[in-house]
Structure 1
Amino acid sequence: MKVLISVDMEGVAGIVSWLQDEPEHRMITRRLMTAEANAAIEGALAAGAKEIVVADSHNTMINLIPDELRPEARLISGSARPLSMVEGVDETFDGVVFVGYHSAVGTPNGVLDHSYSSRTVAGVRVNGRRVGEIGINAGIAGYFGVPVVCVTGDQAAAEEARALLGPELVTVPVKRGIGRVAADSLHPQEARRRIAAGVRQALEKEAKPAPLVFKPVELEVRFHTTAMADMANLIPESQRVDGTTVRFRHDDYIVAFKVFRAMVTLAYSAA
């Protein structure tokens, strides 16, 4: 069994603020992330995984502490990467696990809710469905025919993931948002215990979610300002929907995903 584990920060137990990504708190945050990644690795190993790839997926993607990560896993780190948070996934994988994930921008009581860029993105829809990083990245895995089998993070992320990926998905909520920058969180040790058990269950169970496939693709990105949309609309074949929304259509989801990232990068220049 071959498993990819994508690890973000905002959904990790005990994390409630981006201040925890600042220098005075950063080593604690990195250790919390690494420990939850290790819990997921533990669960995958218990389920019989023989090959485990961990993708460091927060911000600059140099957060996980390499020599504290379990040695059974390989680590993909650094940015920019063509497939970003799920770099490394292909048709040879049996399942993908999202650890420390958060809800889409605009979600009530979603801890640190955003969709790839807090500064620029006000909303994303793919084929009419509202998506955040869970849906966007599940679509990449689905492009290769690989299901997302387990999602850990805050309660809002767990609910979003289940609604999008179906009842066979195993979710592990480790905290409940109290607004955007506060939460009622499990103790990190208890969160890790539940993550290990959840990942094991997700990989062992016979009924798994179907891969999420978007084909053809209609991507709509709503930005915070018209100036940001002006820049995103520089992408060839993109269409302006309204003052702040830009649409792109294509048959290939990976092409659409790369256009999304280019739009966000261009929009950031107008932030």
Structure 2
Amino acid sequence: MKAFISLDVEGLPGVSSLTMLNPWSSQFDRTVRIATKMVNTIIDELSSNGFSEIVVADSHGLMTNLDYCEIKGNAKIVQGYPRPLSMVTTLDSSFNASLFIGYHSAAGTIHGILDHTMSSRTFSEVRINGIRASEFLLNGLYSSENNVPVVLVAGDEYLEREVSSFSPGTVFVPLKKGVSRLSAIMPSFDVILNQLKLGVREAVEGLRERKIGLINIGRPYVVEAVFRDSLIADVVEQYDRFQRLDAYTVRFVAENARELIGLVELLAIVGYGVDALKNAIK
């Protein structure tokens, strides 16, 4: 049995401040400890339940949020950014299950803790076939197109409704609940780790009993990307692939989830570039 873990951090317990999100942030070391402890807990539980190969894709920011020296067991770690397919790098049809840990609600979610989709700097909202999309949906579509069910999602409670709507049978483990964009309420870490162990066991049982299906919202994917800065739309509208809808929004069509993720990530990088350009103008 082979499992793929995609790790984000905004949905992790104990992470509720911008001071915890980047290597240069004052409290980032706390995030690393939390993330590493949670991943090790999941690795132990998966290994005890028949998984002989586990790949962990470190998937937030610069994608170096795990303490490599502290990772246990038989796991392989994917780290570093940028990279193809972003949060689901190396996920393919050879896996039996995927698990999304530390995930958060979509950009535009009221009270969602640190809510965003792919890039808080670039997008105010991303819609796929008219659906406001989270990173769970983007990555879940890719996993499903590779015939790999998303067996467990753990993160902000505001994401649970989306998970249950598009992936019935997927086990959801709430790690905290947003009070505002920069505040959340959460149980103690001991409680969280115990709930996570139980969630993994339930997810493995659901996988074995074929209770967890694949995500399908219909293809092709018609995507509307709403930017935070109209200058990003000014830059990308010159390419025929992107249709300008208004000052802040472009539309494009993707035939599959690989193409979808690639184009959203491309727009995110353009957004970073536009922001850097503006900051460089003195």
**Shorter-chain TM-score range:** over 0.9
Unpaired runs of at least 5, structure 1: none
Matched with 2:191 is 190
Contact 1:232/1:262 (8 A) holds in 2? no
Identity fraction in percent: 35
How far residue 149 of structure 1 moved from its aligned partner, in angstroms, is: 0.9
Q: Deviations over 1:39-59 (max 9, x none)?
A: 221221232111110010110
**Number of the residue aligned with 1:255:** 259
Could you tell me how far 1:183 is from its partner in structure 2? Answer: 1.2
Give the aligned partner of residue 271 of structure 2. Answer: 267
Quote the offset at 1:66 in angstroms: 0.8
Matches within 5 A, 1:50-65: 50-65=52-67
Distance in 2, Cα, partners of 1:129 & 1:235: 24
Matches within 5 A, 1:25-64: 25-64=27-66
Aligned twin of 1:147: 149
Give the paired residue count. Answer: 270
Task: Check the 8 A contact 1:226/1:244 in 2, yes or no.
Answer: yes
TM-score using structure 2 length: 0.91
Q: State the superposition RMSD in angstroms.
A: 1.5
Counterpart of 2:132 (choices 130, 133, 148) is 130
The structural deviation recorded for 1:225 is 2.3
Q: Contact 2:44–2:73 at 8 Å: present in 1 too?
A: no
Amino acid at match of 2:16: V
Deviation, 1:245, is 1.0
Runs of 5+ in structure 2 lacking a partner?
276-282
Q: TM-score scaled to structure 1, two decimals?
A: 0.94
Q: CA deviation at 1:233?
A: 2.5
Taking the aligned partners of 2:220 and 2:93, their CA distance within structure 1 comes to 19
- Does residue 87 of structure 1 match 2:89? yes
Contact 1:231 1:263 in 2 (8 A): no
Q: State the distance in 2 between where 1:101 and 1:88 align.
A: 19
Partner residue in 2 for 1:4: 4
Moved more, 135-144 or 210-219: 210-219
CA displacement at 1:78 relative to structure 2: 0.6
Q: How far apart in 2 are the matches of 1:232 and 1:203?
A: 43
Q: Give the ranges of 4+ consecutive aligned residues of structure 1 lying more than 6 Å apart after TM superposition.
A: none
Distance in 2 of aligned mates of 1:70 and 1:233: 47
1:256 is displaced (CA, Å) by 2.5
Secondary structure at the aligned position of 2:180 is classed as coil
- Partner of 1:158, secondary structure, is helix
